[in-house]
Amino acid sequence: MKLCRFDRNRVGVVRGDHVHDVSAVLEQLPSLRWPLPLGDQLVAELERLRPEMERLADRAPPRPLAGVKLLSPVANPGKIIGAPINYNDHIAEAMSDQTIAHGRDLKSIGETGMFLKATSSLVGPSEGVAQRFVDRRNDHEAELAIIIGKGGTNIPLDRALDHVAGYAIGLDMTVRGPELVCFRKSIDTYSVLGPWLVTKDEVPDPGRLDLKLWVNGAIRQNSNTRYLVYDVARLIEFTTSYYSVQPGDIIMSGTPSGVGPVKPGDVMTVEIERIGRMEVAVRAA
């Protein structure tokens, strides 16, 4: 199932080029009192609510996707977790280009660990990227995004995929520079998730997906998730060896080579096999 959030926080099931409004399912979410549990409550209940969503989608009139505004399919992630250097060809390009590395000694992901992006940076594709510091290098990073469905900590490798709700396309936007990575990558709109969440049953092997990014129609990134240094299961094991994850947490799995600058007026197109394609416009903040 492809689940999206669109327009004014409508929930939709995507079938082909159409969206079916299933927002009535939100009435079945538990009513919660403060303090709210960490994580996204729709993702937490996704397994339970999925049959009802499919039924609602069968009855809802199809609307063309082209006519709706796609928001991040996860509304309330507790964390956006990033993998800094998880494709060897990206490590090589960063090491050979000081406008990327800025004097940092790039080690392996195992030595560097993961980073966090502020959840306030998250938008959907239709919202676009509002670029700050337009005089500095602002890069696109196309990434497979993993959406956690079942929380846990110290999750072992062989059970890691049980904790996945699904996948989406992630854009880990970055202003290059000497500041801490969590600061530079947390600018409002610098985390794009879309165009929808694809449940994991539609992605039998997340380690074999073509991933491509174009800027204004020119290809910039073209790789496959088979080149991930830490694959999806290992990323979950590694991350949760340090901290717990909750439903709706997003892991951006890292970017392959080909990162490069964008400027206001550019349009990024990102595609991942079995997930879909999204266009994201860049403007000045």
- Residues forming contacts to Mn ion in the complex (CB under 5 A) are 141, 172, 255
Q: Is the CA virtual torsion 177, 186, 167, 69 positive or negative? A: negative
Nearer to Mn ion, 57 or 81 (CB): 81
φ, ψ (nearest 5 deg) of residue 223: -150, -165
Nearer to Mn ion, 14 or 259 (CB): 259
Nearer to Mn ion, 172 or 231 (CB): 172
Shortest CB 259 distance to Mn ion, Å: 8
Shortest CB 82 distance to Mn ion, Å: 5
Shortest CB 172 distance to Mn ion, Å: 3
Shortest CB 175 distance to Mn ion, Å: 13
What is d(CA 28, CA 45) in angstroms, rounded to the nearest whole number?
9
- By beta carbon distance, the residue nearest Mn ion is 172
What is d(CA 192, CA 71) in angstroms, rounded to the nearest whole number?
9
Rounded to the nearest 5 degrees, what angle is found at the Cα of 211, between the Cα atoms of 209 and 214? 165
Shortest CB 270 distance to Mn ion, Å: 13
Shortest CB 216 distance to Mn ion, Å: 21
Pair type for strands 2-6 and 191-199: antiparallel
Nearer to Mn ion, 142 or 197 (CB): 142
Nearer to Mn ion, 2 or 79 (CB): 79
Structure tokens at 182: 């969590």
Residues 6+ positions from 229 with CB-CB distance below 8 Å: 85, 86, 87, 88, 108, 109, 254
Nearer to Mn ion, 223 or 255 (CB): 255
Shortest CB 86 distance to Mn ion, Å: 8
What is d(CA 173, CA 155) in angstroms, rounded to the nearest whole number?
28
Nearer to Mn ion, 18 or 176 (CB): 176
**255 neighbors 143 (Cβ within 8 angstroms):** yes
